[in-house]
Amino acid sequence: AQSVTQLGSHVSVSEGALVLLRCNYSSSVPPYLFWYVQYPNQGLQLLLKYTSAATLVKGINGFEAEFKKSETSFHLTKPSAHMSDAAEYFCAVSFSGGYNKLIFGAGTRLAVHP
Amino acid sequence: DAGITQSPRHKVTETGTPVTLRCHQTENHRYMYWYRQDPGHGLRLIHYSYGVKDTDKGEVSDGYSVSRSKTEDFLLTLESATSSQTSVYFCAISPRPPTSGRGTYNEQFFGPGTRLTVL
């Protein structure tokens, strides 16, 4: 069975600081992994995805994530936080043959302080 | 942005009443999904559809039913709403991969959500 754990329901950083949001997954088959972002009162927007090509994946708005099979992790990073990055971030896992169904983590709310 | 609309966007109803939420897409994608979002739980899959009249249960399907009579519309029905069904409901769509195997996965695109309050 597949599952996702996001460490830290709330993360707070200063503007210009490194952003690190943690995601660990459990999957009995090779996973597809995703990060979505949700701004207040909006739907989810895809940030980036891992589908077995490069293990370091670059996404929109300067975010990137690295797939580490040995650690079953897919942490999201951004070198320098911007005020506009304040949002909730969701990690999700899926697999082949599953009708593209997603299993989400509980989410991490990112706050960015001046 | 993917052409996905949800209606209504907000609804307040009373316990025991039936409620139907509608998801409409203009992308002609084969797969459609209904999720609910609750604090501390992320998004949880309620039901999904892999084609017209083809639907299946997700993780939290009790108390919900769905129907898909045409490609563009996916309806979620709460037969008798309860306070525990107060939530934000999201519809999502995804194209069917052209072939099977690795590298052919397609991501989901989400609608704007419906905020449902059951009093």
Res B99 pLDDT > 60: no
- Residue B48 to residue A101, Cβ atoms within 8 A: yes
Mutation for testing the B interface, residue in A5, A44, A60, A93 having most B CBs under 10 Å: A44
CB-count exposure of residue A23 (10 Å: 0-12, 13-18, 19+): buried
Amino acid A54: pLDDT? 83
Q: Which residue does chain A place closest to B91, by CA atoms?
A: A43
- Chain A residues within an 8 Å CB radius of B42: 4, 6, 90, 104-107
Assign B86 a pLDDT band (cuts: 50, 70, 90): very high
B48 to each of A43, B2, B16, B69, B118, how far by Cα in Å?
A: 18, 18, 24, 13, 23
- Residue B106 to residue A100, Cβ atoms within 8 A: yes
Assign B98 a pLDDT band (cuts: 50, 70, 90): low
Q: Where are the alpha helices (DSSP H) in B2-98?
A: none
pLDDT in tens, B4-57: 999 999 999 999 999 999 999 999 999 999 999 998 889 999 999 999 999 999
pLDDT in tens, A90-110: 999 988 777 888 999 999 999
